[in-house]
C-alpha cells in the first residue's frame, strides 16, 4: 500500500527536508549498523512529523529484520560447513542472494520515500504505522 505524504514546507527538526530525512531512514545497514543511526535519530528528535516517524520505524524494522536473518544464515552456514564444505558454500550463496534482495528493497524504499510516498510493506508497514 502506498500513500503520499502531505506537502511539507521547511525542514525537519534534524535540519533537512522531510523527503531527504525519509530517504536516509532506509540506508542499508551493511557495515556496523550504520543504517540504524538515521532511524534512531529521527525517532528521538522528530516528534511532530508522523510520516517521517513511519519511515523511521519501517526502516528500523527492515534493518533489524535483515540483521536477524543474516545471523540465522551465518549460524546455518557454520553448521552446514561442519557437515560438508559444499553445503556451506551453498548457504553462503543463499545469504548473498538474501542480502542483495534486502538491499534492493531498501533502494526501492529510499526512492519511494524521496518521492514523498509512504510505501507500506506487508506486516512490517502495519507495525510501523501503529508505532508512528
pLDDT of residue 42: 87
Reference 112, options 17, 13, 35, 5; nearest CA is 5
Residues 115 and 94: their CA atoms lie apart, in Å, by 32
Residues 11 and 78: their CA atoms lie apart, in Å, by 47
Is 72 in a helix, a strand, or coil? helix
pLDDT of residue 104: 93
pLDDT of residue 7: 45
Q: Provide the domain count of the chain.
A: 1
pLDDT of residue 89: 85
CB neighbour burial string for 49-63, b if at least 16 within 10 angstroms, e if fewer: bebbbbbbbbbbbbb
User: Structure pTM?
Assistant: 0.82
Is 4 in a helix, a strand, or coil? strand
6: Cβ–Cβ under 8 A, 6 or more apart, which residues? 51
pLDDT of residue 108: 94
Q: pLDDT (tens digit, 0 to 9) for every residue of the chain, 132 residues total?
A: 566 554 455 677 777 888 888 888 898 876 557 778 888 888 888 888 888 999 999 999 998 888 888 888 889 888 888 888 788 888 889 889 988 998 899 999 999 999 999 899 999 989 999 887
pLDDT of residue 9: 53
**58, 128 Cβ separation under 8 angstroms:** yes
Reference 91, options 102, 100, 103, 79; nearest CA is 79
Q: Which domain holds residue 56?
A: 2-131
DSSP 12-36: -TTSS-HHHHHHHTT----STTTTH
Amino acid at each position: 500500500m502506498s500513500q503520499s505524504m502531505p506537502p511539507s514546507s521547511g525542514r525537519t527538526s534534524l535540519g533537512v527536508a522531510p523527503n531527504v530525512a525519509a530517504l536516509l531512514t532506509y540506508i542499508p545497514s551493511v557495515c556496523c549498523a550504520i543504517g540504524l543511526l538515521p532511524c534512531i535519530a529521527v525517532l528521538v528528535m522528530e516528534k511532530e512529523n508522523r510520516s517521517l516517524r513511519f519511515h523511521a520505524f519501517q526502516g528500523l524494522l527492515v534493518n533489524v529484520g535483515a540483521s536477524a536473518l543474516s545471523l540465522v544464515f551465518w549460524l546455518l552456514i557454520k553448521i552446514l560447513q561442519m557437515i560438508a564444505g559444499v553445503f556451506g558454500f551453498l548457504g553462503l550463496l543463499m545469504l548473498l542472494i538474501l542480502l542483495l534482495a534486502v538491499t534492493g528493497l531498501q533502494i526501492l524504499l529510499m526512492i519511494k520515500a524521496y518521492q514523498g510516498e509512504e510505501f507500506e510493506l506487508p506486516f512490517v508497514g502495519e507495525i510501523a504505522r501503529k508505532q508512528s
